[in-house]
């Protein structure tokens, strides 16, 4: 019998690891969420300690759902519904200084949503004072994420990588930029970057979009 050899590159493997971590962390997090609900039903809902725990739990659950799509594995046959994408972004950014508008309609291939979420994470890193992010598909074959804010960080190493430079060593906080480069290569898309004092825009162009 022929032996099947699996030899993923490091970034493919990292996506599988991310999926596994998000999946395994989801179960105990769900148990904690159920415990908090039971405590709230017992009359502790109005305590400041319980409010703090509940807020932290909701934020963690939202981030885990976002990370699972942005950094996890995506098969070509998988799709994400418009409702799920909007729900995840609403939970992730609904109560902060950053707002997000998802203008894409209908179900989309998971790879497309993964790319959009990575683009959101990249533009978020460039908005230290918050702002507004819009995800749109102005025409077939183009996916655009534009972010407006009072201040844009122009000197991020990640933005330099998207622009074609790679002279600096990546840090964990900028992994989304490298993942976006990998994802764009996987779907055969080109990345374009536009920067001004109050706006950053990242676009993907490719026949698979």
What secondary structure does DSSP assign to 130-185, as a single string?
-EEEEEE-SSTTEEEEEEE-S---TT-HHHHHHTT---S---GGGHHHHHHHHHHH
pLDDT for res 9: 53
Shared-domain flag, residues 121 and 201: yes
Shared-domain flag, residues 69 and 91: no
Shared-domain flag, residues 61 and 110: no
- Average pLDDT over every residue of 187-192: 94
136-166: pLDDT as tens digits = 999 999 999 999 999 999 888 899 889 887 6
Q: What is the tally of helices (H) and strands (E) in the chain?
A: 6, 7
Looking at 17, 51, 73, the residue that finishes a domain is 73
Res 107 pLDDT > 60: yes
Percent of the chain exceeding pLDDT 90 equals 53
Q: How many domains does the structure of the chain reveal?
A: 2
Range of the domain at 159: 79-209
Shared-domain flag, residues 119 and 34: no
Shared-domain flag, residues 119 and 55: no
pLDDT for res 167: 65
Looking at 41, 73, 105, the residue that finishes a domain is 73
Shared-domain flag, residues 85 and 55: no
Indicate the DSSP class of residue 38: H
pLDDT for res 44: 66
Q: Which residue has the tokens 């959009």?
A: 116
Res 10 pLDDT > 60: no
Would you place residue 75 in the very low, low, confident or very high pLDDT band (cuts 50, 70, 90)? Answer: confident
What's phi and psi for 158, nearest 5 deg? -60, -40
- Average pLDDT over every residue of 19-36: 76
Shared-domain flag, residues 95 and 184: yes
Res 111 pLDDT > 80: yes
Res 1 pLDDT > 60: no
pLDDT for res 8: 47
Is 193 within 8 Å of 161 (Cβ atoms)?
A: no
Shared-domain flag, residues 62 and 42: yes
83-106: pLDDT as tens digits = 999 999 999 998 789 999 999 999
58-68: pLDDT as tens digits = 888 899 999 99
Shared-domain flag, residues 130 and 199: yes
pLDDT for res 170: 73
pLDDT for res 46: 67
Shared-domain flag, residues 129 and 209: yes
123-139: pLDDT as tens digits = 999 999 999 999 999 99
Domain of 203, CATH number, reads 3.30.565.10
Give the chain's mean pLDDT: 86
Shared-domain flag, residues 118 and 35: no
Looking at 73, 103, 128, the residue that finishes a domain is 73
Shared-domain flag, residues 62 and 103: no
């Amino acid at each position: 019998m022929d032996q099947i050899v699996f030899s993923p590159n490091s970034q493919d493997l990292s996506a599988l690891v991310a999926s596994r971590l998000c999946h395994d962390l989801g179960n105990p997090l769900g148990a904690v969420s159920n415990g908090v609900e039971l405590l709230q039903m017992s009359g502790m809902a109005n305590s400041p300690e319980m409010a703090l725990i509940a807020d932290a739990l909701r934020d963690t659950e939202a981030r885990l759902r976002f990370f699972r799509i942005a950094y996890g594995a995506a098969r070509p046959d998988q799709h994400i519904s418009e409702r799920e994408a909007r729900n995840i972004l609403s939970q992730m950014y609904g109560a902060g200084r950053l707002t997000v508008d998802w203008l894409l309609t209908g179900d989309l291939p998971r790879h497309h949503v993964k790319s959009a979420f990575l683009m959101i994470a990249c533009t978020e890193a460039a908005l230290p004072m918050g702002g507004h992010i819009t995800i749109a598909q102005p025409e077939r074959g183009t996916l655009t994420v534009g972010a407006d804010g009072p201040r844009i960080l122009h000197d991020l190493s990640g933005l330099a990588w998207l622009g074609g430079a790679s002279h600096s060593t990546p840090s964990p906080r900028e992994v989304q930029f490298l993942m976006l480069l990998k994802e764009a290569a996987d779907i055969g898309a080109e990345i374009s970057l536009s920067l001004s004092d109050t706006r950053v825009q990242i676009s993907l162009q490719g026949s698979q979009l």
